[in-house]
Amino acid sequence: MNRRAIGLFFLGAAAIGPAISLADHPDPAAEKNLENAPRPPKPTLAVGATLDHNGRLWLARVEKQRLVVSWSDDNGINFSAPVVVTPEPENISADGESRPKIAVARDGTVLLTWVQSLPQKYAGNVRFSRSADLGQTFSPPVTLNEDGRITSHRFDSLAIDGDGRVMVAWIDGRDRDAAKEKGEQFSGVSLYTAQSFDNGATFRANRKFQEHTCECCRTALTWTTEGPVAIWRNIFGTNTRDFAVSNLDKGGVRRATDDNWRIDACPHNGASVAADRQGQLHLVWFTNGTARQGLFYKRINGDWESRPIPVGNPVAQPNHGAVAVADKTVLLTWREFDGESYSVQMMHSHDGGVSWSEPLRLMGSEGIADYPMPLIDNKKILIIWNTAKEGLRIHSLERVTARHHG
């Protein structure tokens, strides 16, 4: 891989926020996951975060079975008092591949989606709320999946165009369950969407976009110059679980990876996607296929695709990558485990993903840890990482244009 040292200025050590107590959460190994039996809440380390058009950092997190939102104007050193989104306690999914999602439109409307876990095994609802007063109050939560079934509605993703359009996608089990009731075979589940044209004040009817998708890998959305684009782990042929991408406005499904990972199970490992101003897609994903194994990055531009490049140290299990883009700066983050502790790793490119810096270790933790989230705008880069031991950690960098060839 062609890598160059690309300049980024570190602004200091990670800001440490209040730790999330796990004292009230049971050992996950003790959970029985019995069908139709109430389950104790899981740890809720996974947070949602975004930067608005003014560079303000917004954070969505779960505290005592309530979703709360706060913001920071100093890159996470100080946060506003949290505002409660869910007045009634909910068992909110905020661990592993599932986390709350937050986005802010240009007019300041704050939008949130999350998954409410139900007592039945693998069942959930995709929930939504919005604030029209800059996050001071939030609308009563509503359920976006409208089928009324107690089944899997999970692994939501949220994207906005900033001017009123809102797209939500999720993995949905209604078609699988209906087929089962008829005695028919149905591999995997389906990808469903809900769309709003008024910043979430109202939503159109649910739309089935694709059948036979993986059951429990996160979906991801990005907004391009030609509309919303989704990526999900699809089922090709007989249990070949590679990724597919599609423009949700135009339709059609494109196979984005050809790793040939054939497995009759769910990898619990979704992909991340971001689009630059030229409409080029940047993907990062994990695979254990016959063609390649590990974490990889590639670009898609129209009919052209770059060759996948490996990311991270394969000995340290690089996993759960994320990508963020602003202009020609592309940022990759992922988590590694060296047998004793987790660490956040990062690579960056200033030429649209053509060449890359060497991997850089940013933070470490010996306790339970979330997956890192990269955020980027025209002035700064923030890496969000929540850990059980150290609490919320925000690593701040400043974007620069100078390049030092090495």
Q: What is the pLDDT of residues 264-276, one digit of tens each?
A: 888 999 999 999 9
Question: CB of 287 within 8 A of CB of 296?
Answer: yes
Half-sphere exposure of 214 (CA within 13 A, CB side): 28
Nearest alpha-carbon partner for 235 in 200, 268, 260, 207:
260
Domain assignment present for 146? yes
What pLDDT shows up at residue 405? 35
Half-sphere exposure of 154 (CA within 13 A, CB side): 27
In the chain, how long is the greatest CA-to-CA distance?
63
Structure token digits, residue 135: 């996050």
- Supply the CATH number for residue 353's domain: 2.120.10.10
What pLDDT shows up at residue 378? 87
Q: Does 113 lie in the same domain as 125?
A: yes
Distance CA 160, CA 58 (A): 15
Q: Does 263 lie in the same domain as 241?
A: yes
Domain assignment present for 122? yes
Nearest alpha-carbon partner for 290 in 250, 261, 319:
261
Q: Does 290 lie in the same domain as 263?
A: no
What pLDDT shows up at residue 23? 31
Last residue of a domain, one of 268, 294, 314: 268
Q: Does 385 lie in the same domain as 283?
A: yes
Query: What DSSP element (H or E) covers 179?
Result: helix 174-181
What's CA 300's distance to the chain center, in Å?
19
Domain assignment present for 388? yes
One-letter-per-residue 3-state SS of 233-283: EECECCCECCEEEEECCCCCCEECCCCCCECCCCCCCCCEEEECCCCCEEE
What letter would DSSP give residue 316? G
Q: Does 309 lie in the same domain as 402?
A: yes
Q: Does 66 lie in the same domain as 52?
A: yes
Q: What is the mean pLDDT of each run of 10 residues along the chain (406 residues)?
A: 45 38 33 44 88 97 97 97 97 96 98 97 97 98 98 98 97 98 97 98 98 96 97 96 98 97 92 96 98 98 97 96 96 97 97 97 96 95 97 87 38
Q: Does 96 lie in the same domain as 235?
A: yes
One-letter-per-residue 3-state SS of 108-163: CCEEEEEEEECCCCCCEEEEEEEECCCCCCCCCCEECCCCCCCCCEEEEEEEECCC
Distance CA 267, CA 359 (A): 25
Within 327-390, strands assigned E span 329-337, 342-349, 360-365, 373-376, 380-387
Nearest alpha-carbon partner for 102 in 78, 67, 136:
67
Last residue of a domain, one of 229, 244, 268: 268
Beta bridge partners of 63: 66
Domain assignment present for 38? no
Distance CA 268, CA 271 (A): 10
Domain assignment present for 27? no
Q: Does 129 lie in the same domain as 50?
A: yes
Query: How many structural domains is the chain composed of?
Result: 2
Question: If you compute the radius of gyration of the chain from its CA atoms, what whole number of angstroms results?
Answer: 20
The pTM of this model reads: 0.90
Domain assignment present for 37? no
Distance CA 78, CA 62 (A): 18
Domain assignment present for 26? no
Q: Does 387 lie in the same domain as 285?
A: yes
What pLDDT shows up at residue 230? 98
Distance CA 70, CA 59 (A): 5
Domain assignment present for 34? no
Q: Does 188 lie in the same domain as 87?
A: yes
Last residue of a domain, one of 250, 268, 286: 268
What pLDDT shows up at residue 36? 47
Q: Does 275 lie in the same domain as 263?
A: no
**Structural domain for 181, as ranges:** 44-268
Distance CA 276, CA 327 (A): 6
Q: Is 293 exposed, middle or buried (0-12, 13-18, 19+ CB in 10 A)?
A: middle
Q: Does 99 lie in the same domain as 248?
A: yes
